[in-house]
């Protein structure tokens, strides 16, 4: 596809008479409008920075205080208690030719009013931070709220109801506390007790006590010092050492996927669906830039940290030989697109105007209709992002540091996000159980060279109009991309819409310059590296067994009749299913969030507890009285819920031990206890997928507008990865992954055990179920 001549601002020709310049007025006009748009964004950021900085104050409140001070002064009432007079005496006597007693008095009152205003803002923030540091409300029984918590809730509602911007509460959020070493070790030993025999437990207890008495106090002091200095004592190390320093391929090991609405379909036209989705994403980005998105609030009043949203767009993971880095740009006006082995650059704006969905549909259709073949080495180029990180870093430095390769790579890495136009079709058909699993596999790794795994996310468009996401994990966790995805699906369905023939609404502008084909010069040596990376990624992808299914007998509604939390219900069912699958218990990872703290990300809930072990053994070792099983289940459920609350409130186990381990490495201190803890494999890694963060769909009005959530690859070679979404009142979606190379695991077998475990636990409480 030829490059657009309109993109050239001027051309020149050397003639015998001199140099002949030819200016393009249209191009200059676009450059001018682009500059105006950039300045508008800068001014918006400056304005938002000021408004965020003085929240909950505002220019209006400052003016009101000034007017009140002046008004009382006019009535000869000195509300400043003499401070205005003191300020007036401190002012220079001759500040200008118009300095009069009246103006000096007004200036003094303005200074006093500003001081009152700033002091009020400071007290507000400190009071809110103090209130948000209280987490006792999480540990109170439902319906048994204490008087103290009720008063606390009133205070929080009063202080957090001032129409906040996205980042208004950031400075009011408390810091993540550093737990005590003794408490962390006690909780750790409690978590491994159901997994060890008496001899193994005694050995671990001895190691833990030795660490607690000898090594830990010194390490803890450094960690507390970091917590005083840094905004969050975990998050920067977690991002660097868990994600960016990882040298294994991102595909399967790190990136995760997100699915589309699976029970309804808006259009079959691939380019049209993509046009609406891309337009909705840029609308979301504009709201993000302007901080017009409301902060996520627990219980509708406790603000969650929003810092992870900053790097959602215009972000790429850049490979390095020892560690990767996240490159985030303030602005990007295009997306990079892959189709049939070719890369394209598609502009999102015409001048300062965001392209309409119909214009974007036309641009994507132009790419679909383009018959040009891939250039040598271009087709599998993205496999470099799917293979080993060291190999990609070396190839990037050797073959992509200059010339047209660098320019084209910059176009991809500096894009708002990456778009993959696939030639195959995928969707969920309830009559075809395998369809959901095939859809998930396509999103998780594709063919290993049609996703740019380094981008913050790849928007995937299948031939039948179904969409999905493949998301890089370092920049943020799943709830963040879930927030964007809910907005996109809701905007696409409820606000943008389609014509009867399935196209975007409106008329396209045929004068738009066509998408720009990226140019490459890839030598044979580089092609060999690309092929090697592809083979590594393909081996990983081929080894992944993914089993996705919709559990139909019941959902959240009937679980609540068991008087337990839906998450605890599912987690205990997973323990029962795993024991039936392998005949033993294992270290289990469940991700919880710590976003009630500033720059908080996640903490681990160790779901295999002594209480859940007792319940599972009772369920599998012969007949028991149903009332006894119910009692054991409730004990296990209460234990799980308490552990989840502890993790959310900064009293978890694993992040604290992880940071102590890093400090020991920095200091050159050897700790057998920490080395063993950090090497323990998570053979069952689980995560609940968030939903309804924005609540764009009314479940009563749109009961079938359900996304199926998403999933990830297994963490351990001989383990399982399980993600689940409790999708409303009547259904649950599961995504189970394992590796074919392990003789101990089988994703479909484990999925069937999960189904049966859910039914068996429901039978304990005689919960009526729909037909399976």
pLDDT of residue 34: 63
Q: Write out the catalytic residue numbers.
A: 473
3-state secondary structure 412-424: HHCCCCEEEECCC
Pick 552-649+681-764's CATH classification: 3.30.559.10, 3.40.50.1820, 3.40.50.11030, 3.30.70.270: 3.30.559.10
pLDDT of residue 8: 43
> Residue 727: which of 704, 747, 711, 759 has the closest Cα?
704
pLDDT of residue 270: 97
**Percent of the chain whose pLDDT exceeds 90:** 70
The mean pLDDT of 676-692, rounded to a whole number, is 92
Instruction: Say how many C-beta atoms besides its own lie within 10 A of residue 173's C-beta.
Output: 25
User: Residue 301: what are its φ and ψ, rounded to 5°?
Assistant: -145, -20
Alpha-carbon span 289 to 44, nearest angstrom:
8
| Beta-sheet pairing, 684-688 with 588-593 | parallel
pLDDT of residue 23: 54
pLDDT of residue 77: 80
Alpha-carbon span 603 to 646, nearest angstrom:
10
Q: Which residues contact 97 (CB under 8 A, 6 or more apart)?
A: none
Domain boundaries, given as residue ranges, for the chain:
2-54, 242-479+505-543, 552-649+681-764
The mean pLDDT of 292-298, rounded to a whole number, is 91
pLDDT of residue 514: 94
Lowest average pLDDT, out of 25-34, 62-71, 545-554, goes to 25-34
Alpha-carbon span 519 to 343, nearest angstrom:
8
pLDDT of residue 96: 56
Alpha-carbon span 49 to 556, nearest angstrom:
41
The answer to whether domain 242-479+505-543 and domain 552-649+681-764 are alike in fold is yes
Element (H, E) at 604: strand 602-606
Angle in degrees, 0-180, between the axes of helices 270-289 and 478-491, rounded to the nearest 10: 120
The mean pLDDT of 17-36, rounded to a whole number, is 59
C-alpha 274, offset from chain centre: 22
Structure tokens at 45: 């950021």
Please answer whether residues 648 and 592 qualify as being in contact, where contact means their C-beta atoms are separated by less than 8 angstroms.
yes
- CA quadruple 243, 248, 253, 259: dihedral positive or negative? positive
Per-residue pLDDT of 226-261, as tens digits, reads 999 999 999 999 999 999 999 999 999 999 999 999
Per-residue pLDDT of 710-748, as tens digits, reads 999 999 999 999 999 998 788 999 999 999 999 999 999
The mean pLDDT of 92-111, rounded to a whole number, is 72
**Percent of the chain whose pLDDT exceeds 70:** 93
Per-residue pLDDT of 335-366, as tens digits, reads 999 999 999 999 999 888 899 999 999 999 99
Per-residue pLDDT of 621-649, as tens digits, reads 877 788 899 999 999 999 999 999 999 99
Whole-structure pTM value: 0.90
| DSSP helix/strand/coil, 333 | coil
Please answer whether residues 378 and 412 qualify as being in contact, where contact means their C-beta atoms are separated by less than 8 angstroms.
no
Q: Is the pLDDT of residue 14 over 60?
A: no
Per-residue pLDDT of 439-494, as tens digits, reads 999 999 999 999 999 999 999 999 999 999 999 999 999 999 999 999 999 999 99
Q: How confident is the model at residue 700 (pLDDT cuts 50, 70, 90)?
A: confident
Q: How confident is the model at residue 17 (pLDDT cuts 50, 70, 90)?
A: low
pLDDT of residue 658: 96
3-state secondary structure 617-628: HHHHCCCCCHHH
Per-residue pLDDT of 545-555, as tens digits, reads 999 999 999 98
Buried-state track 750-770, b at ≥16 Cβ within 10 A, e below 16 = bbbbbbebbbbbbebbebeee
pLDDT of residue 6: 37
Alpha-carbon span 622 to 628, nearest angstrom:
13
Per-residue pLDDT of 570-628, as tens digits, reads 999 999 999 999 999 999 999 999 999 999 999 999 999 999 999 999 999 877 788 89
pLDDT of residue 626: 87
Alpha-carbon span 704 to 186, nearest angstrom:
46
C-alpha 645, offset from chain centre: 21
Structure tokens at 469: 């996401």
Topology at the third CATH level for domain 242-479+505-543 = Chloramphenicol Acetyltransferase (3.30.559)
pLDDT of residue 3: 38
């Amino acid at each position: 596809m030829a490059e657009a001549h309109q993109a050239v601002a001027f051309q020149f020709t050397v003639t015998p008479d001199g140099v002949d310049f030819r200016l393009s007025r249209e191009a200059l006009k676009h450059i001018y409008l682009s500059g105006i748009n950039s300045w508008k964004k800068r001014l918006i950021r400056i304005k938002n920075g000021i408004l965020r900085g003085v929240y909950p104050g505002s220019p209006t409140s400052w003016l009101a205080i000034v007017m009140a001070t002046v008004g009382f002064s006019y009535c000869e009432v000195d509300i400043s208690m003499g401070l205005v007079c003191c300020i007036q005496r401190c002012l220079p006597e001759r500040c200008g030719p118009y300095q009069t007693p009246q103006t000096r008095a007004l200036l003094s009152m303005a200074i006093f009013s500003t001081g009152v205003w700033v002091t009020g803002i400071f007290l507000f923030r400190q009071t809110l931070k103090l209130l948000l540091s209280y987490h006792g409300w999480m540990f109170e029984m439902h319906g048994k709220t204490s008087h103290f918590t009720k008063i606390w809730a009133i205070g929080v509602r009063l202080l957090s109801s001032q129409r906040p911007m996205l980042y208004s509460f950031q400075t009011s959020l408390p810091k993540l506390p550093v737990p005590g070493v003794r408490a962390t070790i006690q909780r750790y030993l409690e978590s491994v007790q159901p997994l060890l025999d008496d001899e193994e437990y005694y050995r671990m207890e001895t190691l833990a006590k030795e660490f607690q008495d000898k090594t830990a106090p010194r390490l803890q002091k450094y960690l507390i010092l970091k917590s005083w200095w840094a905004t969050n004592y975990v998050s920067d190390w977690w991002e660097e050492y868990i994600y960016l320093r990882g040298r294994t391929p991102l595909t399967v090991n790190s990136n995760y996927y997100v699915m589309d609405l699976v029970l309804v379909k808006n259009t079959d036209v691939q380019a049209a669906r993509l046009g609406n989705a891309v337009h909705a994403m840029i609308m979301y980005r504009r709201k993000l830039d302007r901080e017009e998105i409301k902060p996520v609030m627990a219980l509708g009043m406790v603000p969650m940290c929003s810092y992870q949203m900053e790097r959602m767009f215009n972000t790429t993971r850049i490979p390095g030989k020892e560690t990767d880095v996240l490159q985030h740009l303030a602005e990007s006006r295009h997306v990079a697109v892959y189709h049939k082995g070719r890369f394209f650059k598609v502009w999102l704006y015409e001048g300062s105007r965001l392209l309409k969905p119909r214009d974007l549909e036309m641009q994507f259709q132009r790419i679909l209709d383009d018959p040009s073949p891939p250039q040598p080495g271009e087709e599998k180029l993205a496999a470099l992002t799917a293979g080993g990180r060291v190999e990609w870093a070396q190839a990037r430095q050797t073959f992509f540091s200059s010339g047209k390769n660098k320019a084209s790579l910059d176009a991809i890495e500096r894009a708002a996000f990456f778009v993959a136009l696939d030639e195959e079709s995928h969707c969920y058909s309830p009559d075809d159980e395998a369809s959901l699993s095939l859809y998930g596999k396509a999103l998780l790794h594709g063919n290993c060279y049609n996703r740019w795994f380094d981008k913050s996310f790849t928007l995937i468009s299948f031939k039948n109009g179904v969409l999905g996401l493949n998301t890089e994990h370092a920049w943020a966790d799943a709830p963040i991309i879930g927030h964007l995805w809910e907005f996109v699906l809701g905007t696409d369905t409820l606000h943008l819409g389609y014509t009867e023939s399935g196209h975007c609404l409106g008329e396209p502008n045929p004068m738009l310059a066509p998408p720009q084909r990226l140019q490459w010069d890839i030598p044979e040596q580089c092609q060999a590296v690309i092929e090697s990376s592809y083979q590594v990624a393909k081996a990983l992808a081929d080894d992944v067994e993914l089993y996705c299914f919709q559990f139909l007998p019941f959902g959240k509604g009937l679980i609540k009749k068991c008087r337990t939390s839906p998450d605890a219900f599912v987690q205990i069912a997973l323990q029962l299913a795993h024991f039936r699958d392998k005949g033993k218990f294992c270290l289990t990872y469940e991700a919880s969030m710590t976003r009630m703290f500033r720059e908080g990300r996640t903490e681990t809930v160790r779901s295999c507890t002594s209480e859940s072990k007792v319940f599972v053994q009772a369920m599998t070792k012969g007949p028991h009285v149903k009332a006894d099983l119910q009692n054991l289940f409730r004990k296990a459920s209460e234990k799980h819920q308490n552990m989840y609350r502890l993790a959310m409130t900064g009293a978890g186990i694993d992040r604290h031990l992880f940071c102590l381990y890093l400090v020991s490495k920095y200091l050159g201190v050897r700790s057998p206890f920490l080395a063993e803890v950090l090497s323990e494999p998570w053979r069952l890694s689980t995560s609940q997928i968030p939903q309804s963060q924005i609540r764009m769909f009314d479940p009563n009005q749109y009961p079938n507008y359900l996304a199926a959530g998403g999933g990830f690859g297994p963490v351990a070679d001989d383990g399982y990865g399980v993600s689940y979404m409790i999708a409303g009142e009547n259904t649950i979606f599961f995504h189970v992954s394992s590796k074919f190379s392990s003789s101990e695991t089988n994703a479909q077998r484990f999925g069937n055990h999960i189904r049966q475990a859910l039914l068996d636990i429901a039978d304990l409480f005689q919960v009526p179920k729909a037909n399976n």
